[in-house]
A and B are shown apart, each in its own frame.
Chain A
């Protein structure tokens, strides 16, 4: 292989890549051939399954402690997963499926709280603390690196290394 000229090797790699991607998505094939036929094209199983898994992973199992529907072995969680799957297969969007569970269980069902109202605190506070820390570090670094003849040098203990 090392004997191949660089250009040919690149083509080889590309071909291998295409083959790999093609092999991993066999179920995608019928979809592209299908949609023109029906008004509501049936989603291929692999897509339904992937979306179901993603949705179930974002919703909390109501009878567990901090587990998603996807991760919980409980009967209710599995029934909920089946319901998500059937809703996805019916052609509902991710937002519609999530909205259904939200309307039944409230905010609790979402593993990740929506970024609004009081919930914003959870999103903004870490950033605010990080920014505050950055400011404190920047101020101190400036003080420490100030030339020894500077005005700030007399505050004791802050520049023992200088």
Chain B
């Protein structure tokens, strides 16, 4: 009689234990984003830091995603109050310079910050190789499902989000991603007639 009761108790408890054990294998901090693979939300934001070289834009101009079709767009959300943004700052500029000859546009979007604080932050770090845009009301940030800064999105030439990176990114990863997107886009563009 007793072993029967134990067997029933075990049979009831086992699924719960399996369920909890499965829960332990998941990273509670990882939040899957529905955005990669989808069309990137459009934005049209004003430039407040011009940037340098191939990526430069005039202060006061509007940069819109629609106008960047055909290019890979690296969209980085940052803020002057963000500590981890300091870590990735040099790497972003480095990657932007390395990719300057290719159809790539880097843009930074200021998140919940004052433009003056952003300008000062960039100046203190010896400038930035790409323009910074202002996002009043964080509308673009919410459109991109932002959880915090830094977050970086790589958008392919057709306007789809190819990659999303949460936390500080590094130059090697970024250039590899952009290069692989460009490599995939080039044969696709000439593929139908070429091969």
Contact = CB atoms under 8 A, between A and B. Distances in A.
A and B found bound together: yes
A106 B32 contact: yes
Given A62-B147, A63-B148, A104-B145, A79 B138 contact: yes
Given A104-B34, A104-B35, A105-B34, A75 B112 contact: yes
Interface string A101-115: 011111010000000
Contact of A63 (B12, B32, B34, B147): B147
| Chain A interface SS verdict (over half) | helix
A1 B35 CA distance: 67
A47 interface: no
Nearest to B38: A103
Query: Could you say which interface size class chain B belongs to?
Result: 20 to 34
A79 B144 contact: no
B6 to A, nearest CB: 16
A103 B143 CA distance: 9
A138 B36 CA distance: 53
A76 interface: yes
A83 interface: yes
Contacts of B147: 62-63
Query: Could you say which interface size class chain A belongs to?
Result: 10 to 19
Contacts of A76: 112, 138, 141-142, 146
A153 interface: no
B20 to A, nearest CB: 12
Contact of B143 (A104, A121, A132): A104
B19 to A, nearest CB: 8
A106 B144 CA distance: 11
Contacts of B146: 62, 76
A93 B41 CA distance: 21
The 5 A-B pairs with the shortest beta carbon distances in the complex, nearest first, are A104-B145, A106-B34, A79-B138, A105-B145, A62-B147
28 contacts: A62-B145, A62-B146, A62-B147, A62-B148, A63-B148, A75-B138, A76-B112, A76-B138, A79-B112, A79-B137, A79-B138, A79-B139, A79-B142, A80-B142, A83-B137, A83-B139, A104-B34, A104-B35, A104-B41, A104-B142, A104-B143, A104-B144, A104-B145, A105-B34, A105-B145, A106-B31, A106-B145, A132-B12
